[in-house]
Chains A and B, each alone.
Chain A
């Protein structure tokens, strides 16, 4: 019965999509706003990666909203898991020496790679979101390999998360006060194109986002592994 209803609904949706896809050819044109971003973004923002300039400069207010959604869902996860009263004791076996030593050996290079990804976000593919995810996967490796020995430092993760969020908001408000146009106006000098110290506030904001996303995703993994 449920399958019949589902198939009928999917046929209706498919008919609607087929009629609308005929007006949308593949690989022909792009929107006018994209033309503006591609032609002028290099001179206006100074970032070589156009996706970065859209995320951090043109649509920075959207990015603030997305970061807020991430924060709220981490809070919700903590609130849901904190109401579990009875935690059964699970018997865990210690990992072997080779496994835990290998995890400890691999932990700093992965952190370094994540930091490289989000510092070079305006030059190469990557950025704060990807770098934060890579840092969270380094913490996940520690949880899998050295289970029960070390945990995420609670105060340190809260501090870096708050620092990232505050840096984003304060730099955005300074841009709003100094310039005239929009949130996160690029008020610093743009510098030489395609070098590391260029593009004004974009690397600073991406470093802040990297700290915030890395701390939040690590906290989510910590809550799921230890608290539930």
Chain B
């Protein structure tokens, strides 16, 4: 039980990362690849936050006077992930506009049929 509690968040985060990478490698549909990218991004954010966690910690906000500083969780990964989520939305919408443009030009979203995108 103790080992499960130690590694359950890491297991969830790396599960999401593996599913995202596998979707990006295997699927042929362009929008499915972008969905895999979104899942991968959520997994990476979850991993970064769970690295900064402390057992029996509190949120890093001095909202009332009784909160002690020594129990707070790590604020640096939270600041990193906070901006990374906003950037993720901008990058995803750029990729989706590329998808709209590709569909207008080639008439398909299958990456096997678009010659320059094949691997």
Contact = CB atoms under 8 A, between A and B. Distances in A.
B87 A70 contact: yes
Given A42-B62, A81-B101, A228-B97, A50 B87 contact: no
Interface residues of B, number: 47
A125 B82 CA distance: 11
Interface in B68-116: 69, 72-76, 78-79, 82-83, 85-87, 89-91, 93-94, 96-98, 100-101, 104
A15 to B, nearest CB: 12
B59 A213 contact: no
B56 to A, nearest CB: 9
Nearest to B21: A10
Nearest 6 pairs between A and B by C-beta?
A73-B90, A50-B60, A27-B55, A54-B79, A30-B74, A6-B25
Given A10-B22, A28-B55, A220-B89, 15 more contacts: A5-B25, A13-B21, A26-B53, A30-B54, A30-B74, A34-B52, A34-B76, A39-B69, A49-B60, A50-B60, A51-B61, A54-B79, A55-B82, A66-B83, A124-B61
Interface of B: 5-7, 9-10, 14, 18, 21-22, 25-26, 50-55, 57, 59-63, 69, 72-76, 78-79, 82-83, 85-87, 89-91, 93-94, 96-98, 100-101, 104
